Copies of this chain bind each other. A is one copy, B any other.
Amino acid sequence: MQKTIHLVNRPKGTPTHDDFKFVEAPIGSPEQGEVLIRTVYISVDPYLRGRMNEGKSYIEPFKLDEVLSSAVIGQVEESKSDRFSKGDVVIGSLGWQEYSVVKENEIRKVDHNQAPASAYLSVLGMTGLTAYFGLLDIGKPKEGETVVVSGAAGAVGSVVGQIAKLKGARVVGIAGSDEKVSYLKDELGFDAAINYKTENVYKALKENCPDGIDVYFENVGGEIGDAVLPLLNNFARIPVCGAISGYNKAERDMGPRVQGYLIKTSSLMQGFTVGNYSSRFKEGAEALAGWLSEGKLKYEETITEGFDHTIDAFLELFEGKNLGKAVVKVSEIK
């Protein structure tokens, strides 16, 4: 038997442990064309909160009383597929459970000699690709422009800021602690960083963006997103990636309407999800791996040890506790 995690209630507002339940289940065994995978790392991500609600979004909602899922790194324990051998390290969208039996076409191998396996959940995986395509395809920063990124010390934001620097932009990050602010400036080379918990974001942005804002990479929404609007330059671009500040609001999330600001500056806001770019993942992954190997791209991980703490790691996302990518380490690569 193994442990699995079910969603048992659709959270009202901020999720709590009561919305989840650890359930014992058989491990199962693979049939022809399937493999048995031991879970190594589970990715916990803010967007999963949206899937816990009912109703239409860009991916199906999670079902109640079934196992949750996200991106997972695992190791093949037993293979009945010609494409995988015992010991292979793989990635896939898998259940929150200690072992999974999956079809061979639901997973792909990752090369954990090129980079640590967990990097395929972050800088070389979905969050890195999200940063890459959102910034370059929608944000289109030009040399000398000012790029502001919120959630700047998170898995997506930290890569956005570094790519913007590589493109010659001036980069200002917004994050939620002095530790994160120091990390952005001292480790990642951001030109400025703002602690939204202790500073007036509008004033701090005005001070740190003397030439206005050309690109705002939106990860958080709420009052931080509002503060950017009056500072937009003409033809500014706002890739809208996330709005974590609103994910746990039970009420409709209210703020200043954007139309007037967009008209005054001929600016663009565009929502996106990384899946829109699936036909270009190879391009993005190669660029990210190249920068990583050249030492031009750094990344952090906040690793929570032990499957029993998966829900803790997920809930802590909404407290802003993670620096870089939040992952749960369930077992060791052998």
Contact = CB atoms under 8 A, between A and B. Distances in A.
A240 B263 contact: yes
Contact of A264 (B56, B222, B257, B265): B56
A252 to B, nearest CB: 5
A325 to B, nearest CB: 19
Given A243-B260, A257-B222, A260-B243, A276 B266 contact: yes
Given A255-B257, A257-B253, A271 B276 contact: no
B260 A58 contact: no
Which residue, of A57, A257, A260, has the highest number of chain B Cβ atoms within 10 A? A257
Given A268-B269, A269-B262, A271-B263, A257 B58 contact: no
A57 B222 CA distance: 24
A261 B234 CA distance: 24
27 contacts: A57-B264, A58-B234, A58-B264, A58-B265, A221-B260, A222-B257, A225-B257, A225-B259, A240-B259, A240-B263, A242-B263, A243-B263, A246-B257, A254-B254, A254-B256, A254-B257, A255-B256, A255-B257, A258-B258, A259-B269, A263-B273, A264-B271, A265-B271, A266-B270, A266-B272, A267-B270, A268-B268
Number of this chain's copies in the assembly equals 2
Contacts of A265: 58, 271
A261 B218 CA distance: 13
A241 to B, nearest CB: 7
Nearest to A220: B259
A261 B257 contact: no
Contacts of A256: 252-255
Interface string A132-154: 00000000000000000000000
Contact of A259 (B56, B268, B271, B273): B271
B58 A218 contact: no
Which residue, of A218, A225, A259, A263, has the highest number of chain B Cβ atoms within 10 A? A259
A213 to B, nearest CB: 13
Contacts of A240: 259, 262-263
B259 A221 contact: yes
Which residue, of A221, A264, A265, has the highest number of chain B Cβ atoms within 10 A? A264
Contacts of A272: 263, 266
Given A253-B256, A257-B221, A257-B255, A262 B271 contact: yes
Interface string A145-185: 00000000000000000000000000000000000000000
Contacts of A253: 256-257, 260
